[in-house]
Chain A
Amino acid sequence: MIDWEWIGRNASQIVDRTWEHLFLTLVPVAIGILISLGLTALVLRWRRSYGPITVVAGILYTIPSLALFAALIPVVGLNATNAIIALTSYTLLILVRNFVAGVDGVPESTLEAADGMGYTRSARFWKMELPLAMPVIIAGIRIATITTVGLVTVSVVLGLGGYGFFIYRGFQARQITQTLVGLVLSVALATILDFTFVLLQRWLTPWARERRG
């Protein structure tokens, strides 16, 4: 059923599409993280902004990806920028929520002790709140990343799509091998990226690991 020869013939294209998929995943997530950090800082300073920010991010999140790609064509054209803008917008809700929840989850007693020891407000944020929020922050980045790996395939409508290209062409040509290759590699990529973040978290938050030891 599986056409192994097809895989051999298209090896170099599979590699190219892997890079494309990786690029279209990591760039939006990275930009999403930067924007979300800014929005989180805003929320931490003016708590009232949290409502409007989540509403806007929530609306963005509900727009079907196909529609968003199409809507952006008149603005930025039919290119990677289009895909990156759309994919970035989907990460915001997940990231902002997790970033804020992470910082909110730092125990009050820890903050009071930090104040009592004589931390300045900014030192307290960088040395206490941010590291202690890290497990929840990374959890958010993991979800955003997995979601984006899946959404990248839809950008095939822009002539991109990463592994989505194979999935789509497989459907059109009624060629199960291509679709399966796209599907399996997409799942594998999501799994590998997720695992990478798990390792990153263990390395960044050794205290959370020791607790169970």
Chain B
Amino acid sequence: MIRLERVSKVFPGAPTPAVDDLSLDIAAGEFVTLVGPSGCGKTTTLKMINRIIEPTSGRIEVGGRDALSVEPHQLRRSIGYVIQQIGLFPHRTIAQNIATVPELLGWEDDRIESRVRELAVTVGLDDHLLERYPSELSGGQQQRVGVARALAADPPVLLMDEPFGAVDPIVRGRLQDEFLDLHDRLGKTVVFVTHDIDEALRLGDKVAILNVGGILEQFDTPEAILAGPANRFVADFLGRERGLKRLALRPVSAVELVRGPVVDITATSEEARSIMESHGVDWIGLVDGETLRGWVDQSELDGSPLAALPAKPFAVTLRPESSLREAIDAVVTSHARVAVVVADDNRYLGMVGLESIAEEITQ
């Protein structure tokens, strides 16, 4: 979908190139993050794709056509663009802001209006905000408008320059989740610039790690990069806790769950005791049909029916899509040293312990 072929950019008066002989191939529907220290040319690279910055040499293809041979404003109308400062038009209402590109393309008013309403829903923006001006919105709301505006004419490609850099960490996390979800639904090709390696690894299907002077050090999936950094620079840039970062990318469903020391509430105290013994633990989980009620301590098994015992709930329960990093957290903070996994409908799926997680990561 996007192909950069030996692209270089030398700014007038600069001793070294901002981007040096960069080649990059981005497939349709792929979410690619560009990450690197400041001066690595990631933003320059992004802005050359929609020709906000003109390359000094090389070839750029967007959607199969030569980006450098079309009129810049024509090219840009087919590429969504989101910047860190958001850049909403202060004199235009939210609805007018979102309608920008459709208006430039000369859509009918009715079509524009229904598209604006549709996008407000897509990005989670309240209808009543549409008639407001940008200055009346919070930072998070403004960035949602920025995304809606970029998506308005349904461009196949979306360029994003540190779009979540200016909002606070909590809002950023939420916007990241929402945007990943949006990407899954819309299937756009996304090029996303960030200086935050965690954001790059979390969002990208593939991550391009750039070094100062616009040198591409590694371009691969987050998994592959974390498992095998191409060189010292990449390893340093990934920073500490690489193992944990890998775990953050993997879902609990990747490891095999064990049933663990649990017993149905219709069983007897004796059966419960023998299960505890065979697992070598001093507690047992009580299962009621398909759901896990909680757990009881060995000392609480006084011979009365298990269903009558006061089961304590597990402090943390995970879903199959929770990350293994969350699983580790659950394990080390629980009394039982296991993480309990349940389905969306609360059905008990099994448990996961430290060993199986460690096994998964060393494979």
A residues adjacent to B (C-beta < 8 A): 107, 109-120, 123, 128, 131-132, 205-207, 210-211, 213
Q: Which 4 pairs, one residue from A and one from B, show the smallest C-beta to C-beta distance? A: A113-B87, A109-B85, A116-B81, A118-B77
> In whole Å, how far is A64's beta carbon from the nearest beta carbon of chain B?
41
Contact among A113, A114, A118, A132 with B74 in the assembled complex (CB-CB below 8 Å): A118
**Interfacial chain A residues near B85, Cβ < 8 Å:** 107, 109, 112
B101 touches A118 (CB 8 A): yes
| Complex interface residues of chain B between 71 and 107 (CB less than 8 A to chain A) | 73-77, 79, 81, 83, 85-92, 100-101, 104
Separation in Å of the B106 CB from the closest CB of chain A?
12
B149 at interface by CB-CB < 8 Å: yes
Query: For B79, B91, B135, which residue has the most chain A Cβ atoms within 10 angstroms?
Result: B91
* 8 Å CB contact of B91 from A116, A118, A120, A132: A132
Interface of B is mostly: mixed
Closest Cβ neighbor of A114 among chain B residues = B89
Docked pose: A110 CA to B79 CA in angstroms: 17
Min CB gap B150→A, angstroms: 8
B residues engaging A (CB < 8 A)? 50, 52, 73-77, 79, 81, 83, 85-92, 100-101, 104, 132-133, 135-136, 149, 159
B71 to chain A, nearest CB (A): 9
Task: Assess the A112–B74 pair: CB atoms within 8 A.
Answer: no
A118-B73, A118-B77 are contacts. A207–B100 as well, Cβ < 8 Å? Answer: no
| Cross-chain contact B135 with A113 (CB below 8 angstroms) | no
Q: Are B91 and A131 in contact (CB under 8 A)?
A: yes
A23 to B73 CA separation, bound complex (whole angstroms): 45
Choice from A107, A112, A205, A210 contacting B52 with Cβ under 8 Å? A112
**Are A107 and B133 neighbours in the complex by a CB distance under 8 Å?**
no
What are 22 A-B pairs with beta-carbon distances under 8 A?
A109-B83, A110-B87, A110-B89, A110-B90, A112-B85, A112-B87, A113-B83, A113-B86, A113-B87, A114-B89, A116-B81, A116-B87, A117-B76, A117-B81, A117-B101, A118-B101, A123-B104, A128-B89, A132-B89, A210-B133, A211-B135, A211-B136
By a CB distance below 8 angstroms, the chain A residues around B100 are: 117
Determine the distance from Cα of A128 to Cα of B89 in the docked complex, in whole angstroms.
Answer: 8
For A117, give its contact among B77, B86, B132, B135 (CB under 8 Å): B77
Residues of A within 8 A of B136 (CB): 210-211, 213
A205 touches B91 (CB 8 A): yes
Residue pair B76, A109 in contact (C-beta under 8 Å):
no
Residue among A107, A110, A111 facing the most chain B CB atoms (10 A cut-off):
A110
4 new A-B contacts at CB < 8 Å, known A117-B101, A118-B104: A111-B87, A113-B88, A118-B77, A210-B136
With a cutoff of 8 Å between Cβ atoms, the chain A residues found around residue B76 in the complex are 115-118
A113 to B73, CA, bound (A): 12
Contact: B104 with A119, CB < 8 Å?
yes
Kindly report which residue of chain A lies nearest to residue B71, judged by CB atoms. A120
Compute how far the CA of A119 lies from the CA of B87 in the bound complex, rounded to whole angstroms.
14
Q: Which residues of B sit under 8 angstroms from A117, Cβ to Cβ?
A: 76-77, 81, 100-101, 104, 149
Closest to A115 in B: B52
Alpha-carbon distance A190/B76, docked complex (angstroms): 48
A120 close to B73 (CB less than 8 A)? yes
Q: Of B50, B74, B81, B87, which is in contact with the most chain A CB atoms at under 10 Å from its CB?
A: B87
Q: What's the nearest-Cβ distance from chain B to residue A52, in Å? A: 26
Q: Considering only CB atoms, which chain B residue lies closest to A212 in the complex?
A: B135
Q: Are B83 and A211 in contact (CB under 8 A)?
A: no
Q: Which residues of A contact B104 (CB under 8 A)?
A: 117-119, 123
The docked-state distance in angstroms from the alpha carbon of A110 to that of B135 is 13
Please, how many angstroms separate the alpha-carbon atoms of A52 and B209 in the complex?
49
Report B-chain residues with C-beta under 8 Å of the C-beta of A112: 52, 83, 85, 87
Q: How far is B73's CA from A114's CA once the two chains are assembled, in angstroms?
A: 10
Q: Is the CB of B86 within 8 A of A109?
A: yes
A36 to B29, CA, bound (A): 51
What residues of chain B lie closer than 8 Å to A118, measured between beta carbons?
73-77, 101, 104
Q: Knowing A210-B135, A210-B136, A211-B136 are in contact, say whether A119-B73 is a contact too (CB < 8 A).
A: yes
